Structure 1
């Protein structure tokens, strides 16, 4: 398994913990996640989950927000998801 596939598998597990609000399914689908988050597409979510994409930090932050994560850690650096998104919007 590649490192990108590990990341994708991890993100898929996180998505499967979120209940669907719009469909009669146990967990939120890629489409529902994308529909409720303007910075994400179903295609992008799918390629990340399959380990095919090289998402930018911005896309990873938006995906973290969509997955209800408050912070993520990269290189032993903790990033506040909401603060990061607010700073992006100021640009």
Structure 2
């Protein structure tokens, strides 16, 4: 398994923990995740399959969509809401 595939598998597990608000499924679908957060289903699918090289911005928006408050990258804790606010104010 490649490192990108590990990331994709981890993100799939995170998505499967978020309950669906629109569909009669136990967890949010890629489409529902995309619809509510400015991401595309295609991008989410390629990340989950380990095919994409998502930017930090895309990963942060994905973290927000997955209802994460903070993420750790290179042992640096990033506040998801603050990061999004900063890039929107540029």
Q: State the TM bucket, normalised to the shorter chain.
A: over 0.9
Q: Shift of the alpha carbon at 1:44?
A: 0.3
Q: How does 1:1-91 map to 2 (within 5 A)?
A: 1-38=1-38, 40-91=39-90
Partner of 1:36, secondary structure, is: helix
Count of residues in correspondence between the two structures: 90
Partner of 2:37, secondary structure, is: coil
Give structure 1 regions of 4+ aligned residues with deviation exceeding 6 angstroms. none
CA distance in structure 1 between the aligned counterparts of 2:50 and 2:73, rounded to whole angstroms = 18
Partner of 2:4, secondary structure, is: helix
Q: Deviations over 1:41-88 (max 9, x none)?
A: 000000000000000000000000000111110111110000000000
Q: RMSD across aligned C-alpha pairs, in angstroms?
A: 0.5
TM-score when scaled to structure 1?
Answer: 0.97
Partner of 2:77, secondary structure, is: strand
Unaligned ranges ≥5, structure 1: none
